[in-house]
Structure 1
């Protein structure tokens, strides 16, 4: 983590730049030094050294923003700026974010905290920050033109409010929102309870991340901000598999996972090997009577969900969005299905003119994970990742929950691949198969057809040769 002071003569600059609200002379004496982070790795939890104590969260492939205490006020400094985000090893993207990253750093406070947030605009256009889900004064809500003037380029605004209720929230612009959010401007916010709450359990591990999507052409680095539906990169905290870190926990840990959705579609988030209960949203903790066991929870656009489970099954468990095209990386939307098409005789002729020509999808797309086909520079393979038994054949919104009995409390290091006990892994059967038992009614309908067909029907497909009579 590195630090950088954007201002020489901080007191004079701050007095001229702060413009969103009236603040005390003490607050204007100097801006908090902005803290920057460029590493894409998951940072350790930030244990609070000042202010009220709390159990900190771990941001997947992210970090928590430090603060300073100023006469009882918790002060943060966000810098909105262009950033370069490594979405996966070997693949980087030009984005906009906060304090060196997209998404920006997680902000953690405690219920009842007085919070002051300085926002410096280093973007090429004006911006603002909306504190999604917060109860606050109207003039601090961050919708430019409605609640405040936008923050001009090079200026710093300040937002002040009390964190009135505990929960899972986020922040993002409400100025040129389509462009700025499509470029990656967003961040997580967690407000911890100030005392024991009957609806908020104490957990051993608390993870959080945001869902985001981008349309970046292979070989390029900048998202296409006008895309509305046809995204080709589905990410968690602007990372795609295999660039998404694993969630490493100790067996019998109580685990909470917080997820926010700032894409343009819903995401059914699915966990293998365990059942969980959804315990809250950006509206607050859910009543106990509203909680039911699930293995998948659908998170709609603009929603937050937090769910909890007991990690009582040891192993490496897949954790992903259940929309299958969201667990693949960049590919074209107009690729035809070639399954079953016989390329023999054609491939050789094409390769005489195009030596690099390859058969695409004749037997399915799994071969794509093994092909060493040339890709444009700065392009993520469509499906990738290697596990202990071969290619995982995934991309996008996919990670792994790693549960280990020997993982120490508070240890978030990757323990490596799980060693399955003998006799607990699927295996090839090489013996004789027993004759299957069949029900007498198998294959029959519930009632006979009134007019059974005289012969089987086979669909004949004929390609039209012209524009007449078809």
Structure 2
């Protein structure tokens, strides 16, 4: 067969074979993931008693009802209000706190509440590497199966860091975020930091009225600002330090570690500190562990609002948080964090509200309301980027920026609230159905409108999103009633955030957007390989032919050139 005929046949095969392969393929069956095969969690934490939701009185402290499915321990609230030194041993044993965690004494101004407050905090690692087994301890999930490494300030506790000897789950006091601290204008406050960690730390009272050093209190020249470059030396492991202040201005403030701030703050060593207005008989809930609903609000808040919520937004970089899951040698962790980790190349992967991501935010951080109420929202952004919180169905009014009250005539009402890193906003949420403040009852989302803020490690739905839920839209467990056949339980599975569950598989009976099975016939990868082999063979054959007939090709080329020259000469003679 002449070479050119062979080439024509091979070229035809190159075209026809892929067409035949395509024609032989059949669309695969849709594979449906059986919900029964998923590792589904209870949507409400089974370790939390439903009795905690009720309004009750403990140690003389009136505790408001909570409609959410995972409310705070009411005994813990009572201890935070009265002080661990002023409650019975039976109540203290229900909290897990140390007897000296919150000491309240001395009604200095004679108005019926204590004015000398001592708060003891420790530094705790969550989801860190252990040399004892493969895995991390103590565990704290921000969403199903999601366990970023973290550090937090935590109230001084008694007993174990885990729930019990058989569990590796952190006890309920050791969690993200660092606890909300509440004090009153004029209180003499001492925050005692006991460094139970392997790294140095400090506390900086961001926005809180405090002296630069302790000499104003007659206790020497010890620093009081938390900044190791100017105020004080590092607080080393095993040491303790007292931060003392007597605030003169009320407002929503911020506290955080100021040692290697670019990593320590991002790891979770940050919390809200709120200075309340001075009122008689103003027994405050000094700690709000986990933030959210303030079930014993201050006298000043109750004068103007029906409910109060603390909303602490934070974001974490997976690369940073994984360092403590790779090493348990402090020298190696210090090397990776202080010298090798580059914050300027980082990206945030986990977005939390009060330490949790959706769907766990539905357990603890829903804003539960009724019509015609005024709700106070205190918000903090301790992440490293700007955020834009959007409220569906409502427009709220900004009453305070960074703890400073705004002139009522200059207050802004809107539905998107920009917050810079470290910024705080106080909002008035009015549920009057007037088409402006509220559009009516419902289960309305509120979320960061940077779209990555509603993802968890890039997977949606997740992030810091939660809901403004009217009571009529909650079921008996305190979760939002689902509509249009949507099943929230799929979000309470590890498989969803492992990207193993097709999120649209149940949109129609045919499962047209479900997961495709294995193709019959030649699959696409094999088809591509065969096609590439044929094309490569043809190209190689062409090159071989060109080399084998090089002399013939050169002669033909010379003849063509000669002919062209002859044609040009004829035209010149004419």
Instruction: Tell me the TM-score normalized by structure 1.
Output: 0.59
The match for 1:5 is none
Q: Does 1:318 align with 2:445?
A: yes
The equivalences for 1:3-402 within 5 A come to 43=72, 46=77, 49-50=81-82, 67-71=102-106, 72-84=115-127, 85-99=140-154, 100-139=174-213, 140-195=224-279, 202-216=304-318, 226-228=342-344, 229-245=346-362, 246-312=366-432, 313-331=440-458, 382-383=459-460, 394-402=461-469
Cα 1:146–1:398, aligned 2, differ >3 Å: closer, same or farther?
A: same
Give the 3-state SS of the residue equivalent to 2:265 in structure 1: helix
Structure 2: how far apart are the matches of 1:237 and 1:199?
21
Structure 1: how far apart are the matches of 2:184 and 2:232?
26
Check conservation: 2:254, 2:422, Cα contact below 8 A.
no
The match for 2:470 is 403
Check conservation: 1:255, 1:310, Cα contact below 8 A.
yes
Give the 3-state SS of the residue equivalent to 1:86 in structure 2: coil
Unpaired runs of 5+ residues, structure 2, are 1-68, 84-95, 107-114, 128-139, 155-173, 214-223, 281-298, 326-336, 433-439, 485-574
Structure 2: how far apart are the matches of 1:200 and 1:219?
39
Larger Rg: 2
Cα 1:307–1:162, aligned 2, differ >3 Å: closer, same or farther?
A: same
1:372-395 deviation line (CA, Å, top 9, x unaligned): xxxxxxxxxx12xxxxxxxxxx21
Q: After TM superposition, give the deviation of residue 166 of structure 1 in Å.
A: 1.0
Check conservation: 2:250, 2:403, Cα contact below 8 A.
no
Structure 2: how far apart are the matches of 1:201 and 1:90?
42
Q: After TM superposition, give the deviation of residue 232 of structure 1 in Å.
A: 1.7
Cα 1:218–1:188, aligned 2, differ >3 Å: closer, same or farther?
A: closer
Structure 1: how far apart are the matches of 2:323 and 2:240?
29
Structure showing the higher strand proportion among its residues = 1
Q: After TM superposition, give the deviation of residue 405 of structure 1 in Å.
A: 5.2
Check conservation: 1:82, 1:122, Cα contact below 8 A.
no
Greater RCO (Cα-Cα under 8 Å, separation 6 or more): 2
Instruction: Tell me the TM-score normalized by structure 2.
Output: 0.49
Give the 3-state SS of the residue equivalent to 2:456 in structure 1: coil
Give the 3-state SS of the residue equivalent to 1:93 in structure 2: coil
Q: Does 1:416 align with 2:459?
A: no
The match for 1:336 is none
Structure 2: how far apart are the matches of 1:68 and 1:252?
38
Unpaired runs of 5+ residues, structure 1, are 1-39, 52-62, 332-381, 384-393, 421-470
Structure 1: how far apart are the matches of 2:194 and 2:305?
35
Q: After TM superposition, give the deviation of residue 95 of structure 1 in Å.
A: 0.8
Structure 1: how far apart are the matches of 2:97 and 2:410?
31
Q: After TM superposition, give the deviation of residue 67 of structure 1 in Å.
A: 2.0
Give the 3-state SS of the residue equivalent to 1:326 in structure 2: helix
The match for 1:29 is none
Structure 2: how far apart are the matches of 1:149 and 1:202?
43
Check conservation: 2:262, 2:343, Cα contact below 8 A.
no
Check conservation: 2:82, 2:104, Cα contact below 8 A.
yes
Cα 1:135–1:219, aligned 2, differ >3 Å: closer, same or farther?
A: closer
Q: Please, what is the CA RMSD of the aligned residues? A: 3.3
How many residue pairs get matched?
307
Structure 2: how far apart are the matches of 1:132 and 1:64?
26
Structure 2: how far apart are the matches of 1:305 and 1:95?
25
Cα 1:413–1:136, aligned 2, differ >3 Å: closer, same or farther?
A: farther
Cα 1:259–1:68, aligned 2, differ >3 Å: closer, same or farther?
A: same
